[in-house]
Each structure stands twice: as C-alpha cells, then as structure tokens.
Structure 1
C-alpha cells in the first residue's frame, strides 16, 4: 500500500491518493487532476474510486471530471443530494480497493452530510482515517458554514451538537494508533485552532485536541461556536458547485477570454494580480490589488473580497502570470466571473503615494488608521489604540464608514492584505489621501 498526501499551501487543503495492488483511490481531490494521474502512472496503477467526505466550501473538487474522463466511481453520502451518478456510502458501508478496505463513518458536525473513511489495511488493521473537515489536528471543523447552504439546512448550534456526538461516539472509539488524515491544515478557514502538523493519530488527538476534553455537551457547543473566523463570500457557492460537479479544469481555464492592451471600462470591477510595486507604479483607477505570488493566498482573498455573482476584469503583467491567476481563480470556481483576462491595459495612469513613515510615527493622531485584520486577530490586541477595525472582506460594503477628514493609513498583520485594502479605499482619494502601511506594520507590533 502506498499513500500520497497532496497539499495545497495556498488553500491549506489536503487530498490523498491510496494505491493498493494496482488500484488507486482518491479522497477529496482538488480541481487539478494531473498530480493524481501522475501518481497512478508512477505506480503503474489505475484510479478506480473517489471518496468525497462532503461538498467542500473552500475549493472545487475534481470528482466529476475524474468520473467523466477515467470512469471512476464516486462514493459519497446520499444526504449530500448530488446531481451526478454516485455510489452511496452510509455508516459502516465498505468498499474494497486493491487489497485494502474503505469503511464509511458518518461524522456530521462540520456539515450534516459528512462522511469520514476508515482505511483498513491488508491485515485487517485500522491504518488510518480520512477525516475531511470533521477532525483536524488539534481542532474540529467549524459548524457555521452550512447555514443557508447545501441540500440540508441545519443551524450551527445543531451542527455543534452533532460534532460532540461524532467525537465521542465515532472518533473516540477508533484504535489509538490509527493515523488521522484531515483535509486541511493551519491557515484554513474551515477551523480556528489547527496545529502546524498535517497528520496525527487518534491517541494524540485524544491527548491534545480540545474537542476530546469537554465532556458536557452544552459546554462543548458553547466553546465550539465561540470565536469562529469570518466566512468568505465564495464558500456557499462552492458547496453548490461541488454538489452539482464542476466543469473540467482545462475547459474552465480555456473558456476565459484573454485580451491585451484594451481599455477597461471605468465602472468595472478590476482585480489587479500584479505585485505591489508594479501596482503602485500605475494601474486602472479603482482596481483592487490582490497579489498573485506563489505563496500568496490569492484564491482566499479573491473569494472573500469579490462575491460569487460579481463579474470582474483580471489584470496580470504577462500572459504566463495571467494564466496562473486564471488557474487559481478556477480552483474556487471563479473562472466564470472573469469578463476578460488582460495584459497591459491602456488606462493605467493611477499611481499610489508613499507614506511618510517618520511623520506617521511622530504624529499617528494626524491619520485615520484602518485595521483590516479579522475580528479574532484584533481580540489579541491592537497595534494602534485609535485604529478602526473593518476586516478586509467587509471593506467594500463599509466603505462609507471611513472618516474623510484625515489621511487614511491601512494596515493588516504582515503587509499582504493591506495592499488590497488600500486599493479598495483609493476611491477616497478625491477627498482624502490613502496610504498602505505595508510591511512597515511589523515595526509597530
């Protein structure tokens, strides 16, 4: 048996390929199928099964493309209410792949239709459990993402109660040495206190994970619901796309119109994916700067700032980087939102002014300071006592709440998000100067 963990740092999302005796099963595959095909080829094996734990909110799965191109069977709980042909997996149902067995465990709590899959090896021992978004390393999957989304409508309080039962009636009964393979790691918005470790064991989670320690259900629900992070705008849409099954990635990316040297309409939403320096030196008026470096969380912030029903132009510095930005937009199902991908648009006369850092340090009260970190981050302490907290995902909607009587300085925790925040607030420039504190924020922490 061979197990490969595929991890997407940008989305903090993990998927798995399991090979046994020439057959491969995938668990929660991301939208790009190439890595899984390469894995199967490396082991001279055939992909025969995809196990979906639930309809994911934070990324688009490739399960339907794998079925259409390779003829694989999709295994999922019927409660999901999918629009494609599938094999139902209820609690205790088993499927053999090669010489190993996958046993479905019904584990609601993050969602009301969630399965985990217990991997039983050739000797009949519990090797590992693919927990999806139910059990993470050091945490459990948040219960508030499915209110108003999905086939089954359940309140977050009800889901929190379900998670208590899942922890105590399902995961606590697994063998201590069973490996825990979750679908997410630190940085994912599907949990709040994940460990930096990407895998664990049931014994370690019983010891270290807070969810195993609270034995009163009411106390558990209260602790579980407290302090959850914001919900990106694109999450409910991704749930629906995954329930229906997505278009193939290649077709999705190729369907996006590409243009060069055009003039973008003045009233359009423009996402400029270039680096901060290039953006500041000249951009389309009103453009939002969501930088698309290899390690940047472009997908998350695109889907947090722009709603799933909004159309936008996507700007990049060259065709290669434009293709990369389109590819990343497609990972969250936003390829259809792109009016056109544009290289070298004509109307890039807007420039950003540099903040006089010495004056800001000496006279912070002369500025309106906007802290765009999440509320949970601000609870840990402000960097500036007089800062106004408006989280980045809310900034476009709360634009009118920004005072206009002083220059505005925007900051986040490290400098990446503030570029987007300052560009959103640049519409204030007709009356008020807007500055991005950028990485200089570290001097004030």
Structure 2
C-alpha cells in the first residue's frame, strides 16, 4: 500500500492517491483542478484509477473529479447529502470501498458543511489513516460559515458549529491515537483560522494539542469556533456551486485563453489584473489596473477582488509567468473570465513614491487607509486615525475614503497595499494623490 500526498502550495490544498500495490489500483481523494499529476502517478505505478472521493463540495478550489471520471471511467463517490449534478455513487456512514487489502470506510461528519465526510483507511484489518477533508485540520477544525445563503445565516452557522462539536467527539476522537491524520488543507487556507504548517499528524497528537478536541462544553466550542474567522472571498460560493456541477476539462479550458504581447485595450468597466512587481507597476501601468502581484496569495486576492463571472484582463511580466498564472486562475474556476492575457506591457501612468520623511513628520497631512483584516486591526492599530477597510471589502467601500488629503495605504507587509493603492488610484481618477506605504510599514509597526 502507498499513500501519496499532493500539494497545491498556493491554495494550501492537499489531495491524495491511495494505491493498492497488489492490485495496481488507485483511489483519489479531493483532487485539484489539474488532473495531470494524478495521471502521471498512475502511469509511474502502472495503476488504474478506479474511483474519486469528494469529501464535500469545496469552496476554495475547483476539483477535477468530473474530468477524471470521464477520462478514466472512474466513479465519483460523495455523500448523498451533496446532491450533485454529476453522476455519483453515495458514500456515507456504513459504506465501504475495498481495493486489495485496503478498506475505505465513510464517516458522516457535518460541521464544516452539512455534507462533509471523512474516510478511514483500514489495512489488513487495522485503522491506519484518516482523510479528514475540511472537518479536522492539524491544530484546528473546519469553519462552519461557508454554506450560508438566505434565511438566518447566523442560525445556520451556529447549527453547523454544533454539528462539528459532535462530529469531532462522536466520530473522530474515537479513532486510535496511532491513526495518521491527512487533512485537505494546511496553514494558509481560509477554511480555518489556526492551522499548523505540518502536512500530517496523528490522532493522538491532535487529541493532546488541537484546541477543537480539548474538553469543553458545546457552548464553549461553538463560541470559539464562530469567533474571529477569516474573511470569505467572493469566489467561495461560486466554487461550491461549480464543484457540485463539475468543472470543464482543465487543459482545453486554459488553452482557450488568448495570449498576446503588449497591452490590453483599456476599457473603464473591465479591470486589468497586473501581476508584475509593485516597483514595475508603479513605474508604468495602465488605467483601471489592480496590482495583484504574482505570489502565494494571487488566487485568493483575485477571487476576492474580481467577482465570479466578471470579465477581466490578465497581465504578467513574461509569457511563461502568464501561462502559469492562467493555470492558477483555473484552480479557482476563473479562467473563462479572462478576456485577454498579455505579457511584457507597461503603461502611461505612474504612481509616485511616498515621501517617508514628510509622512513621518506629520501623518495628519494624509488620509491613512489600513487594508488589513479586522482581526489584525483589532490586535494592533498602527495609526490612531487610520480608516480600516479590509482589502476584500475595499472595492465596495472606496467612497468611504475622502478626497481632501493625499491618501496613504498600508497593510502588514506591502502585498495587499500594492493591490489596494492601485485600486484606489484607479477609482479616484486623479482627484487626489494616492501612495503605497508598502514594506516601509514595518518601520512604523
């Protein structure tokens, strides 16, 4: 038996292949959008993919389950509570899949979502591993507020949090301490708030160290789980719906994006997502551009600033980077929204650098905008009179920023402030100077 873990470091996503060496058969769990790594692993081991298990319809990435189902003629297994549009076989409490000496046992574990399942792997009759999806993470558990739509959303959040309390205690904590834990996400995901950097653990270790498995009342658990959760990007509900439907095949979909050298034609109602370094962007960029730099959080901020199904242009420093970013855009299901992709272009606009000495001498001469998350501001507000608007909300709240004084924008390290300052500059249309404090914020914090 082999367990292969695959990682998408940009979305902090883990997927898995479970290989029966004696039968040369393989089952996948929560595959990412690009199926090629799984096909390559199957070829490498001369194995047949005989099934794909979805622990729930994911909010933060798009799965390739439907494409693999079609290409490999492999059934998709999911909880019947998912009610997907694609053909599937129900995999719920009491259901078992067997390959060789491996038995995969389904557990219904609502909490992160009503339809979440976990999978226990038995080998030669002994529980060996738990594939916990977004139910149990290393150091944390899944948030309960990503499926709220209509009705009393607070009641739904509280109901799911209560279900999570019981799923963890009535199901997962009953597993042996030596069972290895394989979650669907690690540190950096927005599906939880306190995840470890580790990529696996044991149930024994989690029982000792994971806050969500500590002894506490249900009321105490619900209060903790529903407090201080990170923001929810705009693309999350869209990806849930897309995963319930099943996404288009990856390679043909990204191949349809037109790539050109130069600059896109400027249109006021279509944003240009410029992924170049902030220094290059500030030196020369186009009107109506947002500087979402190529980096580990590109997908998150793209899917937070640009709405699902909203067209945009994508711009990068070179063709290779552009192609990589198109593929990353597809990982959240946004590739069909790219109106055109361009590389090596600059622009006629320039953003002036902030005079740090002048700013330091009298910050009151500036309107300071803090685009960090609410929890970050609450923990430490850097400038007493700053206007706090999280980057994920900025596009809808720019009118709250007055035009009377020059605007200086900051986050915690410069990445978010580059995007925010460029967006504010585009929306203010020259009515007021806009500056990015950038990495210099570290001198004040």
Q: Give the TM-score normalised by structure 2.
A: 0.95
Alignment of 1:61-80 (within 5 A): 61-80=63-82
Aligned partner of residue 146 in structure 1, secondary structure = coil
State the distance in 1 between where 2:269 and 2:175 align: 57
1:98 aligns with 100
Q: What is the 5 A alignment of 1:210-225?
A: 210-225=211-226
How far apart are residue 52 of structure 1 and its match?
Answer: 0.7
Is residue 142–residue 191 contact of structure 1 (8 Å, CA) maintained in 2? yes
Name the structure 1 match of 2:340.
Answer: 340
Q: Residue 132 of structure 2 contacts residue 184 of structure 2 at CA under 8 Å; is this kept in 1?
A: yes
Q: Which residue of 1 aligns with 2:298?
A: 298
Gaps of 5+ in 2: none
1:24-423 matches, cutoff 5 A: 24-121=26-123, 123-148=124-149, 155-261=156-262, 262-293=264-295, 296-344=296-344, 348-423=347-422
Once the 2 structures are TM-superposed, how far is the Cα of residue 318 of structure 1 from its aligned partner? 2.5
User: For the residues of structure 1 that align with 2:239 and 2:319, how far apart are their CA atoms?
Assistant: 27
How far off is 1:18 after superposition?
1.4
8 A contact 2:109–2:167 mirrored in 1:
yes
Deviation at 1:309, TM superposition (A): 3.0
| Alignment check: 8 A CA contact 2:317 2:345 kept | no
CA contact (8 A) 1:120 1:128 kept: yes
Post-superposition shift, 1:429?
Answer: 5.1
1:170 to partner: Cα distance: 0.2
The 1:372–1:42 alpha-carbon spacing in structure 2 relative to 1, beyond 3 Å, is same
RMSD: 1.7
Aligned residue for 1:395, secondary structure, equals: helix
**SS class of match (2:435):** strand
**TM-score calculated relative to the size of structure 1:** 0.95
Q: Aligned partners of 1:9, 1:379: CA distance in 2, in Å? A: 28
SS of residue in 2 equivalent to 1:57: coil
Query: Contact 2:26/2:47 (CA < 8 Å) preserved in 1?
Result: yes
What count of residue pairs does the alignment treat as equivalent?
Answer: 439
Query: Which residue is equivalent to 1:13?
Result: 13
Give the drift of 1:260: 3.6
What SS class does the counterpart of residue 379 from structure 2 fall into? coil
1:391-420 per-residue CA deviation (whole Å, 9 max, x = no partner) reads 001111000000211111111111111110
SS in 1 for 2:237: helix
Instruction: Give the distance between the partners of 2:188 and 2:385, measured in 1 at CA.
Output: 28
CA distance in 1, matches of 2:415, 2:30: 29
Preserved CA contact (<8 Å) 1:135 1:141: yes
Paired residue secondary structure (1:386): coil
Q: Which runs of 4+ in 1 moved over 6 A?
A: none
Moved more, 53-62 or 371-380: 371-380
**Could you tell me whether the CA contact under 8 Å between 2:26 and 2:49 is conserved in 1?**
yes
Deviation readout 1:17-46 (Å, 9 max, x if unpaired):
111121111111100111112222222212
Deviation of 1:215 after TM superposition, in Å, equals 3.0
Distance change (3 Å), C-alpha of 1:257 and 1:190: same
CA contact (8 A) 1:259 1:343 kept: yes
Tell me, in whole angstroms, the C-alpha distance in 2 between the residues paired with 1:85 and 1:173: 33
Encode CA deviations 1:327-365: one digit per residue, 9 max, x unaligned.
11110000111111123558x201110111122122222
SS in 2 for 1:227: coil
Gap change, CA 1:410 and 1:153, over 3 Å in 2: closer
Distance 1:153 1:226, change over 3 A: closer
